[in-house]
Structure 1
Amino acid sequence: MNTFYITTAIDYVNGSPHLGHAYEKVLTDVIARFRRLMGDRVFFLTGVDEHGQKVQQTARARGIPPQQFCDEISQEFRDMCAKLDISNDDFIRTTEPRHKKVVRDLLQQLFDQGEIYKAEYKGFYSTRQEQFLQEKDRNPDGTWPEIFGEVTEITESNYFFKLRQYQDWLIEHLKKNEDFVFPRYRQKQVLEFLSEPLNDLCISRPKERLEWGIPLPFDEEFVTYVWFDALVNYYTAVVDKPGFWPANFHVIGKDILVPPHAVYWPIMLKAAGIEPPRSLLAHGWWSINGSKMSKSTGNFVEPIAFAEQYGVDALRYFLIREMSVGQDSDFSLQQFLARYNAELANNLGNLVNRTLNMTNRFAAGVIPAAEAPGEAERELQTAWEKTRDEVVSLNEGFQFHIALERTFAFITATNGYIEKRAPWKLGKSAAPADQALLRTSLATMAEALRLANALLVAVMPGTSGKINAVLGHRPAAVWRDELVWGARLTGNKVAETAILFPRPQTTK
């Protein structure tokens, strides 16, 4: 059995979870669930980044200890994962002893190897981004980009990691591993960043300026730079789990690809003699109603509240259906409701209820055996085989939005098959041939529903389970076996009805 280790970025606890956090968790969950279906032994990690100046400042402003503040916000992220049906195997916090130990061991190793040195630094510092800046970071007019917030000039002694000496190695590594970053065009952005000489990385902050961090093992008067601390979480979680490192994918937002994940992280690992991750998956950003997300202006989606109002799987479906992995996308209630009504309620929901209704009406609620498949049945089976192969391949390439489009095209084709066979007409006929065709049509529509549902389990696990339940179906242990057209449902007693996607009650 292959192992598959996948992580999200760990979310900074300076604020509550928003739609971008929800999307990253759902996307990673869909990948993890799909790999489990494909037979891999999966380890899925998420968590929170709890150190740094912003946390220290926010906690002081509220008059509470930093750990108490972290505990509160960390729980919000845990609650979001639970609400959104995220199947993570571990939830890591950078304030946990297990993580602090790995960070300090790694720092001590690099220091002993001569990879870390002390020097005086004079330059510009962004508190918001918790990083030192260079002249090249300025706007053409000499101002600092808004992303950096307030920038101050400081002079202080710090410890530096010899990042620069590994630049040539990293360039060569990227050229040899063209799929290191997905989508591939973002790998070119990394190489463009590396076209200019790297500076060594300042990996400490003096305690008189920042107390909330992991102390350096070789100088307790300094704490670890938040990125050097945070990135190590991916390794911490599996250091005692043989077979999972290196990570198959780190799923991150495009804003933290360069330099943290694509430059700092592989070089840190290389210097420590640890194999770098196999790939980074950099996803895009969500706007809301065509504008940047902003809580202050009300242009904001609170994921838990939204899921409670419209359904967890409806939100999961929209996030995966609407965004092409790697690209940006827009979230609007109007577009959400359009997909909810047309695709979930009217297409999938309608197929489920037609299947249940007609099986109860014409077969006493028991799915009959197919007796004499005709051209219409063979056409639907052919459509299934094409859909199945396409969807599996698309999912392997992270093209989940297209895979869902293909799956729902098959659901549409199944509803079209029902219109063509018109079981309600066949049920009125006493002719033996019509009764045989009725039984065949009922078996065919139930089997097509079962198969389509098998393709939805990674994206809509709750809904998929409900559909299996109303069909009286217990899925096979091997998912691939579930994708073969057959007679698994013959003799199953079905439920009378199922309301999977009730008409949403909106206030707008």
Structure 2
Amino acid sequence: MAEPFYITTAIAYPNGRPHIGHAYEAIAADAIARFQRAMGRDVRLVTGTDEHGLKMDQTARKLGRDALEFATEMSNYFREMCAALDISYDAFRRTTEEQHKAASIAVWQAMEAAGDLYLDRYEGWYSVRDEAFYDESELKDGEGGQRLSPQGTPVEWTVEESWFFRLSKYRDYLIELNETPGFLEPESRRNEVLAFLKGNELRDLSVSRTSFDWGVPVPGSPGHVMYVWVDALTTYLTGIGFPDREGDFARFWPANLHLIGKDIVRFHTVYWPAFLKSAGLPAPKAVFGHGFLLHRGEKMSKSLGNVVDPLELAERFGVDQLRYFLLREVSFGQDGSYSAEAIVTRCNAELANSFGNLAQRSLSMIFKNLDGKLSAFESAEADAALLATVQATCADEFPAAFGALDLSGAIEAWMKAVFACNQYVDEQAPWTLRKTDPERMRVVLMTLFSAVRSLAIAIRPVVPASADRLLDQMGIPAVARDFAALGTTNWLDELLGSGFTLEQPVGVFPRLELPADEAAE
């Protein structure tokens, strides 16, 4: 049986429609999931929406809406985003689902049984926007004497009866866990969390609220609902069947990777592992805190008028083009910037001009000069050298970098192989060989066919629909498009045995045009 691999996105808070940050995280998680599937792993990708909490309750009230009805509408926008961006999730979980409520209650009861919950009175600073508690030492002053969280969001002094979780009990465990190589990446995030854990006395955490009722009820404690992060984080368990501990849960937990934004790292590397430890469950194997996307170098805000709908970008430039740009342009783990101009420039230079043109020229010459017929060939020195470069890139360098979550580095290595192929075309000049040495032309074109096949298979996790359209035209069976296929030597024999003939090829990466309104800026 294939080795399991379980990856999650953060569970999106749907008090507004999806923004480019949600799209970026979903695309990255999907590409990683597709890559692991292509490496032969049994993958589960889970995403969803975190629909409880004071912020959702307040937003629904302001709109005069029923909270569940509002949450359902907003959750559907996130489903639509996933569908539009070709996100191959295995489960989309909502925290308002009955199974999820049962899972949250099971985790709560396990923490209670461990003696880690007690009733007391909470007095302290709370950010509704962050759904987070902050110590006085973490706050900063805003305009008009307003106290602000480290993220710059308003906080308010809150006093209410609350259940508390004995977070302080797990300080040593959490330091050891976060010092474990590979648990929290990139290194800058790990350093931040360890500084927090080592530099502060870890206070017990308020884990219930009585000031509103939009949440999972605390078992045996009328009037209390669970703190939204207890509820939200449990979604990672719900997505693979918990509270049923058999089947998928037994197979896939602990998660291989929680992919999250850098602003919620503390919740996933301090609170979440402590909850799990208390409940008798293992911590996830890895947490990766990616950076933010900036629009032309600026943070997005409605006041600046630079908030862009990711579905509008996908419709304007193409889903695979947007996927490619975000994963190629941004060093994974760091902040990155995007603009319409940058998307057009990058995708035209690399997808349309370099790889797209390479594939189109190669297949067109086979169609015109060989009547679309493929054939076995003996490689000369130059041919063997090119195929060795492509093989090393696609079967070794690309998987090694992608598996290490160096997504942009993997694509950069892939592009070097594309450039090598284009240089080979220029040097071999098959259009000249057509007149001077037709047999040599045939070998060159078959070499290019082999190279394009490998390049298309390698880049599939990033641009799945486009790569598949290209491989369809090349007659490569759907079952022969994973990384194991790159190591096979009989693929051409099988293709020839099927009687495949190449039809007139159709380009899969058209050149993009900068919209008039963007070009005018």
Out of 426, 430, 434, the position equivalent to 1:419 is: 426
- Tell me which residue corresponds to 1:317: 324
* Contact 2:111–2:278 (8 Å) recurs in 1: yes
Q: Deviations over 1:356-393 (max 9, x none)?
A: 221121111222332x4222212202212331311121
- Tell me which residue corresponds to 2:409: 402
Displacement of 1:143 = 5.5
Distance 1:145 1:155 in 2: 18
Displacement of 1:485 = 7.1
Compute the RMSD of aligned alpha carbons: 1.8
* Local SS of the residue matching 1:216: coil
Q: TM-score, length-normalised on structure 1?
A: 0.94
- Tell me which residue corresponds to 2:203: 199
Displacement of 1:301 = 2.3
- Tell me which residue corresponds to 1:93: 94
- Tell me which residue corresponds to 2:262: 254
Out of 477, 494, 505, the position equivalent to 1:497 is: 505
* Local SS of the residue matching 2:156: strand
Aligned residue type for 1:219: S
Displacement of 1:148 = 5.3
Displacement of 1:313 = 0.4
- Tell me which residue corresponds to 1:154: 158
In the alignment, does 2:386 pair up with 1:380? yes
Distance 1:356 1:193 in 2: 57
Write the mapping of 1:59-458 to structure 2, written as runs, cut at 5 A.
Answer: 59-139=60-140, 144-145=147-148, 147=151, 149-175=153-179, 177-195=180-198, 196-206=200-210, 209-238=211-240, 239=242, 240=244, 241=248, 242-258=250-266, 260-370=267-377, 372-388=378-394, 389-429=396-436, 434-458=437-461
Aligned residue type for 1:437: R
Gap runs ≥5 in structure 2: none
Distance 2:126 2:455 in 1: 54
Displacement of 1:446 = 0.8
Aligned residue type for 1:179: G
Distance 1:133 1:399 in 2: 33
Distance 1:287 1:504 in 2: 22
Q: 1:435 to 1:499 in 2, by over 3 A?
A: closer
Q: 1:148 to 1:400 in 2, by over 3 A?
A: closer
Task: Give 4+ residue runs of structure 1 displaced > 4 Å after superposition.
Answer: 140-143, 475-478
Displacement of 1:340 = 1.2
* Contact 1:53–1:210 (8 Å) recurs in 2: yes
Q: TM-score, length-normalised on structure 2?
A: 0.92
* Contact 1:313–1:460 (8 Å) recurs in 2: yes
Aligned pairs, number: 499
Distance 1:173 1:314 in 2: 38
Displacement of 1:19 = 0.7
* Contact 2:160–2:209 (8 Å) recurs in 1: no
- Tell me which residue corresponds to 1:19: 20
Aligned residue type for 1:235: L
* Local SS of the residue matching 1:119: strand
Aligned residue type for 1:493: T
Aligned residue type for 1:212: W
* Contact 2:207–2:227 (8 Å) recurs in 1: yes
Q: Deviations over 1:187-231 (max 9, x none)?
A: 22211110111110100110xx21211110021211111011111
Distance 2:484 2:133 in 1: 55
Q: Deviations over 1:70-128 (max 9, x none)?
A: 11110110011011111110000000000001111221232233211111222233222
Distance 1:155 1:179 in 2: 39
In the alignment, does 2:491 pair up with 1:483? no
Distance 1:85 1:96 in 2: 24
Aligned residue type for 1:79: E
Displacement of 1:261 = 0.6
* Contact 2:122–2:162 (8 Å) recurs in 1: yes
Q: 1:498 to 1:392 in 2, by over 3 A?
A: same
Aligned residue type for 1:268: F
Distance 1:181 1:150 in 2: 28
* Contact 1:126–1:152 (8 Å) recurs in 2: yes
In the alignment, does 2:476 pair up with 1:459? no
Q: Deviations over 1:329-371 (max 9, x none)?
A: 111222111111110111111112101221121111222332x
Distance 2:106 2:381 in 1: 68
* Contact 1:181–1:281 (8 Å) recurs in 2: yes
Q: Deviations over 1:139-194 (max 9, x none)?
A: 2798533645333323221111111111112212333x221101133222211110
Aligned residue type for 2:236: Y
* Contact 1:181–1:280 (8 Å) recurs in 2: yes
